[in-house]
Amino acid sequence: MAADKTLSWSYTEEFPLEGEPAAQARLRGIELGTDPVSAATGAALRMLAAVSGAKSVAEVGTGTGVSGLWLLAGMGADGVLTTIDVEPEFQREARRAFDDAGYPSARTRVIQGRASDVMPRMAAHSYDMVVLDVDPEEAAQLTPQAIRMLRSGGVLVVTHALWNDHVADPARRDATTVAARELGKSLRDEAN
């Protein structure tokens, strides 16, 4: 008997327990019209930060701080999260979420601006992990800068790599799905 992938996916998405600060940040994000990462994606981010021993993480797409809280939870006590977003209101909410969770301001660096303008000015080979929490078309544009910023052996995360489960469906030919597919292929090919 074949397993029901939809049930497995739903179970996986709902399994991680989200702390109160992240849950509140998620609600504020939804109210403001952002699309916060799911608790399962957050748990994966936390795990990747922890197993890579990340001390310096750059994130594009601050939102209201949901993904940042998960990343901070996976980093050591001396880890610093640098997060970039163009929306000042989102960043205010993210700072609030980081404060509510008890993270000292020295652990977070919030930069307001377009990632395409900010990332080229960030130090090369200085980050253990770079998270692109943006749509696939923007992720494709930012990937070269993200790779430049990573230390040798660093981790690049593209949170929308499967773009709402459309990437696996060959009938989907919209620009965003195609961009996600092409980004995945280029990263695979570069790794080989």
Amino acid, res. 34? T
Instruction: Kindly list the distances between the CA atom of residue 177 and the CA atoms of 159, 161, 165, in Å, as whole numbers in the listed order.
Output: 14, 9, 9
Q: How many CA atoms lie within 13 A of 4 on its CB side?
A: 4
173 or 60, which is more confident? 60
> In the prediction, which pLDDT does 115 show?
97
d(CA 43, CA 41): 5
The residue-averaged pLDDT of 143-152 equals: 97
pLDDT of residue 2: 57
Highest mean pLDDT among 8-12, 16-20, 118-122, 184-188: 118-122
What angle in degrees, to the nearest 10, is found between the helix axes of 5-14 and 39-51?
A: 70
Q: Is the pLDDT of residue 165 over 90?
A: no
**What average pLDDT does the segment 27-42 reach?**
93
Q: Are 180 and 167 in contact (CB under 8 A)?
A: yes
CATH class of 16-191: alpha beta
Percent of the chain with pLDDT over 90: 73
1 burial level (CB within 10 Å; 0-12, 13-18, 19+): exposed
Pairing of strands 127-132, 150-158: parallel
